[in-house]
Each structure stands twice: as structure tokens, then as C-alpha cells.
Amino acid sequence: MPVCTPSRVAFLSGRHPLRTGMQGYPLKAAEPRGLHLNDTLLPEYLRKLGYTTHLLGKWHVGYLTRNYVPTRRGFDTFLGYFNGVIQYFNHTIEENEQVGYDLHRIVGDNHTVEYRYDYMTNLITEEAENIISSHNTEKPMYLQLAHLASHASNAEEAMEVYDWEETNATLGYIQDVNRRKFASVVTTLDKSIGRVVDALNKKDMLKNTIILFISDNGAQTEGPLYQNFGSNYPLRGLKFSLYEGGVRGAACIYSPLIENSSKVSTQLFHITDWLPTLYSAAGGNSSDLYQLDGIDQWSTIKTQEASKRKSVVINIEDVDYSAALMGRYKLIQDKSDFQKHYTNYKGNDPSYPKYNVTNILESPAASAIANISNHIVTANKIEELRKEATVVCENLMTSDCESRTCLFDIYEDPCEVTDISSQYPEVRLNQNRKIRNI
């Protein structure tokens, strides 16, 4: 995601608008509720700093009245869909045996339905390129891409690939056809990001941009509603669970402002931190913000200061489905059906082609950044960072946390294998007290 000080552009790629603040089951189609109108969102704060603001893709925090839509919540323009998921090509949503069309363009208060048959990933990409090429660079810009990819749809083919011929030609070595589809959808997303970064470079904006690429949750391997055959290996669990496979997000941030770049960070960071962090990076004073759960961590990103966040409440919906991180310890009780390690989706079959670092260095995104950067990233450095970022767990035998509350040392045991609650009863007791007092 990018955000920058005034005169810098902001480009966020992920799937959910920042600061959703809605607990419980996601909004259903036409459900008459939404994110509270008293909540101020990141783009509203950025507009006060002079930013133009644009959202492409998913909204999914309510459209009960005009006041709930993106352009009444801080965005100047919006092209995308209101609900949780749509089909990639025809942009329909099916729920409760009803089918609706969900692709909208809003500029200010001018709201039209956008009837197009186009692959959603490419549609978002083309719109982003148009916004960037026509942008007046005298003003800073915040551009958020909330991609549909790599979410499954409710089409007959849940993972809708853009080009089957190309998919089979380039990814045919993946024997599991469902995994091949998933890889294809992600590959198209990769190309999208490359095109957007290249567009920023061509507009001479990249040297003043912060780019954040972030996932909103772990992969959905299986499930009652959707399954996209994604993998969180070797982490335990998946989307909808409270294990690391469901709640540990992957992110990558780029900015010329970052000192000592090309590094892996394992410091604690919560999604609510992005609002004050990016507002601070954009030139705002985070102390002006009020009633936020988030913490300004721009200095942590920029200079590698120690993270100011020491704990995260993951969920306190009920006694049987709760978790929290306090320092290195994670307390969890999760009675869901999605606790296991998905070892059949390792993604590292020895028959697969070797990781090609040259393709990374020659990719559109890498080439665009190299064009304006004095920092040189070598193939050896990429391999080193990739190894450092890889989670390795030798034993994936699972502790039962359905009938009891478990305690894990998340730094020593990221795969949540060994319940240490009996070894550290005082830690478990203190963690429980802290959660109940929140």
C-alpha cells in the first residue's frame, strides 16, 4: 500500500477497506446494516491532508443508504462491488436462491451500474492505470485496490481463471487441478500489481510512493461456503479459525523512505494499526486521531524501532471461540472444524520447477522500482530473504484445543503444536484475566 507525505501517492492492494470494525459474521447481500456512520475512515482523514482518494474493488461494509457508500465515507471515486464476493466475469452474486448484479461506478453522488463482461482482476487493473495516468501530480493521491482475487466465487468453477490455455501451458505441472486454478488466479493478480507499479513509474510517481500489499486473512482451503484450495502450510488452521493459518497475515511494504530496506520483519502488527501508521506517513499527526484501537507504527517500519504493540485481542466473541496474543504467548480456545495442518498443500513438490529468481528481478514491478532506486537487490539477497521469511516446523502433531484453552509460545512454536498451559499455569491465568478485562 502506499501512503506518503503530501506530494506522495498512496497505493493499497488488499481486499478489505481499512478500519472495518464490524464483529461477527460478514454482511450478507442487501443486509440492512453497515459500518457505523460515526466511524471516520482513513480516506476521510487523508482528504483533510489534500489527498485525492479512489477505491477499486470490494467495499462490503454496508450500502443501506447513500450515506453508507464509499463516496460518502471518504473516497472521491469508486468502481467495484458492494457484497462479499461476485463472479469474476459476469459480476453477479447469488444468495438465498436469488441472483443480483453487483458492479458499480460512483463519482461523488453520481451512481451508475457498470454493465461489463470482463475479468474482475483485469478490470480493476485497467481502471487503476487510467486513474494514475490522468492524475494531477500536484496533489497527493490515495489509491486502494481491494481485489476480488484470490477469493472463490459462486460460479460453477469456483476458482475462475482468466485464460485456461495459458494456465495449462505455464502451470500444468501442478497435478491437482484445483490448486492449478488457484495458482492461475494468483498469477493474474501478480500481473495486475506489476502493471500498476509500472504505471506509477511511467507517471514519475513511484519515487514518492508507499506501496503496501497485504492479505486480509489466511487462505480458505475448505469450508461450508467457499473453498479456493489455498494453503497456509505449515501454519495450523485456515480462514474462520483463530489459529495462525487464519489470522497471521502476509504483507510487503515498499517506500524510498524506509531505511535499511530489504529486510524481513516479525514484529507484532495489527490491521487496525494501518490507519494511524499511514496517516502519520502521509504527514498527519497521529495524536490528532481519537478513539482508535490502532497504534502509529510508521517509525517501526521506517527505522526498525521496536514495535509499540505488545498485545492483540484476536477474538472475544464467546467463551468457546476466543484468542489473544500477549507478547510471545497466545491463548486460544477454538471449537471450529478448521484446526488441522493442511499438509497436502505444501506447494513445494520436488517435481515443480525451481524458484526462478531471475523472473522476479525482471518482473514489471521489480524493473520499475530498479528504475528509480539506488538500492540494488541481488538474486542472493532475494534467496536469503525468502529463506528468512519461511516458517519451518518439524512436528505437526496437533494439540486438542476444543475441550480446553491452550497456550502457545508463538515465536518458538508458530505452528501451534505444543500446548504449554500446564507448564505455565500463571501465564495462562494472567492472559485470561487480561482478555476478560478488555
Residues marked as catalytic? 4, 60
Kindly give the interhelix angle for 164-171 and 177-202, rounded to the nearest 10 degrees.
100
Contact 64, 301 (CB under 8 A): no
Contact 86, 146 (CB under 8 A): no
Backbone φ and ψ for 36, nearest 5 degrees, come out as -55, 135
For residue 345, give the nearest of 249, 266, 231 by alpha carbon. Answer: 231
- Alpha-carbon radius of gyration of the chain: 22
Cell of 418: 505444543
For residue 319, give the nearest of 329, 307, 333 by alpha carbon. Answer: 333
Backbone φ and ψ for 105, nearest 5 degrees, come out as -120, 125
For residue 192, give the nearest of 211, 171, 174, 208 by alpha carbon. Answer: 211
Cell of 177: 487441478
For residue 51, give the nearest of 140, 137, 144, 143 by alpha carbon. Answer: 140
Residue type, 257: L
Contact 178, 157 (CB under 8 A): no
326 three-class SS: strand
For residue 32, the tally of other CB atoms under 10 A from its CB is: 9
38 three-class SS: coil
User: In 134-272, which ranges are continuous DSSP H helix?
Assistant: 164-171, 177-202, 244-247
Structure letter (DSSP) for residue 391? -
Contact 180, 171 (CB under 8 A): yes
Q: Residue 383 and residue 389: Cα distance in Å, rounded? A: 10
